[in-house]
A and B are shown apart, each in its own frame.
Chain A
Amino acid sequence: MCMTCGCGHDDAHVEGVPDPAHDDADGHAHDRAHEHVHDHAHGVDDLGWHTHADGTRHRHAHAHEHPHEHEHAHEDPGADLHFGHGPAGSAAPGMSQSRMVRVERDILAANDAIAERNREGFEKRGIFALNLVSSPGSGKTTLLVRTIERLTGLVPVAVIEGDQQTSFDAERIRATGAPALQINTGKGCHLDAAMIKTALGRLAPPDASVLMIENVGNLVCPAGFDLGEAHKVVVLSVTEGEDKPLKYPDMFHAASLMLLNKVDLLPHLSFDVERCIANARQVHPAIEVIEISATSGEGMSEWLAWIERGARAARAPRLAGERPRLQATRLDVRDHVKEVRS
């Protein structure tokens, strides 16, 4: 990682050996040498590999705190995060060398770490979590109520409702018999992973259930915040205009599925369904689309089948974990049968 320009490549980095020039889309070459200095704990193995506190592994050809010089081009920074490495040895205009401290931390790292823990919890318990996003008034809650009604008896459903104020939506969900918890974000424009973590502690969705998280009605901010869900599902109603995917591309890029809602109203509107879908695919070529109406029931079976497929897959790792145990039981039974026969 080059601190002079912020560019870099993957975290496998052999110090003391000049990095080879990398292929690179937007690459630039350094035309002068610069230094990297860092500290690390001892515990270096025979080949010089060692692990830093942040989990990064790399090796030095020789020991410890030493500047080195090289000339190379870099690739994208990838996922490596370094922090707390102390004064950096690089030079940058306007910054005094001795007082510069490398940080290199992702601004969303705190959120993403909690989201990852949420996700691990969902996976361990076979919970299929969906993050429903849309603009206000797209019909998310009505769609959710109809969905829960149709899933009753098939799979347990729990709901986390996000709104700036009021618990109207959670009350509507609770009326279906499904457990629901309201999060009020106050001035906040999106749910974040920590809110979901807190909500999970209270709501305690059952194992092997479907968890629907209805985000704050907002097509902008929720796109950037991972909650630990399996998928973002964007709800767009046909009363909104077919150009929304182009106006709010980040959200449609982040979503796996677009529910095109209120299609029962199409005869009364000049909404171009094909163009809307083409717009969504322009932003996200792989996005799935279901045309649906909570009122007429059109498309509901397709949507329910999509959920059941996901829920089944979410439960599968648990089943896979139980498979060896089942096999062992079968072998025991076989042995037992042999014994009885003999």
Chain B
Amino acid sequence: MHEMALAEGVREIVDEAARSGGARRVAAVRVEIGRLAQVEVEALRFAFEVVKRGSLADSARLEIVEREGSAWCMRCCEPVVIAGCGEPCPKCAHYQLQVTGGDRMRVLEIEIE
């Protein structure tokens, strides 16, 4: 349930950005979640519904943009897209992979009123 801690992180970032933007309320929050970012998207949605109460984002809708995981395959010597940690290279089916992207979570933007 570390999604609760992540949701609190989202709320803090959103509140700060909304205040500095002079907002009365936040209408929408857009978050990017990498497929390798160790987060369960549905759990994050649930947690955000809980933590947003009483904040400027009280009635905000959460939009989640998923980003695919990318890795460098040491056998193919090229970048590949992977579905998750422990998944093989889609080209050579081996596991000699170094994750290069899709392992982060960011608040991209907010819509304020």
Describe A's contact surface by its main secondary structure: mixed
* A6 and B101 contacting across the interface, CB-CB below 8 Å: no
Interface size class of B (residues with CB under 8 A): 35 or more
Closest to A218 in B: B2
Chain B residues engaging chain A, CB cutoff 8 angstroms: 1-2, 5-6, 9-10, 12-14, 17-18, 20-21, 23, 27-28, 30-32, 37-39, 63, 65, 67-68, 70, 74, 79-81, 84-86, 95-97, 99-102, 104-113
Which residues of chain B come closer than 8 Å to A3, judged between CB atoms?
108-109
Which residues of chain A come closer than 8 Å to B99, judged between CB atoms?
253
Q: How many A residues face the partner with a CB closer than 8 A?
A: 48
Closest CB-CB distance, B58 to chain A, in whole Å?
Answer: 17
* A96 and B111 contacting across the interface, CB-CB below 8 Å: yes
A225–B2 Cα distance when bound, in Å, is: 9
* B106 and A223 contacting across the interface, CB-CB below 8 Å: no
Which residues of chain A come closer than 8 Å to B79, judged between CB atoms?
25
Closest to A24 in B: B79
Known: A6-B65, A106-B106, A224-B2; 10 extra A-B contacts, CB below 8 A, are: A26-B81, A77-B104, A77-B106, A83-B17, A99-B112, A103-B13, A103-B108, A104-B107, A105-B17, A107-B107
Q: Does A285 contact B (CB under 8 A)?
A: yes
* B112 and A101 contacting across the interface, CB-CB below 8 Å: yes
Which residues of chain A come closer than 8 Å to B28, judged between CB atoms?
94-95
A106–B9 Cα distance when bound, in Å, is: 9
A250–B85 Cα distance when bound, in Å, is: 6
Which residues of chain A come closer than 8 Å to B70, judged between CB atoms?
25-26, 76
Which residues of chain B come closer than 8 Å to A77, judged between CB atoms?
101, 104, 106
Which residues of chain A come closer than 8 Å to B81, judged between CB atoms?
25-26
A-B contact pairs, 15 of them (CB 8 A): A25-B100, A83-B17, A84-B17, A88-B109, A95-B109, A100-B110, A101-B21, A102-B109, A103-B106, A107-B6, A107-B105, A220-B2, A224-B39, A253-B86, A253-B99
Chain A residues engaging chain B, CB cutoff 8 angstroms: 3, 5-6, 25-26, 76-77, 83-84, 86-88, 92, 94-96, 99-111, 188-190, 192, 220-221, 223-225, 245-246, 249-250, 252-253, 281-283, 285
* B38 and A224 contacting across the interface, CB-CB below 8 Å: yes
CB contact between A103 and one of B104, B105, B109 (< 8 Å): that residue: B109
* A281 and B68 contacting across the interface, CB-CB below 8 Å: no
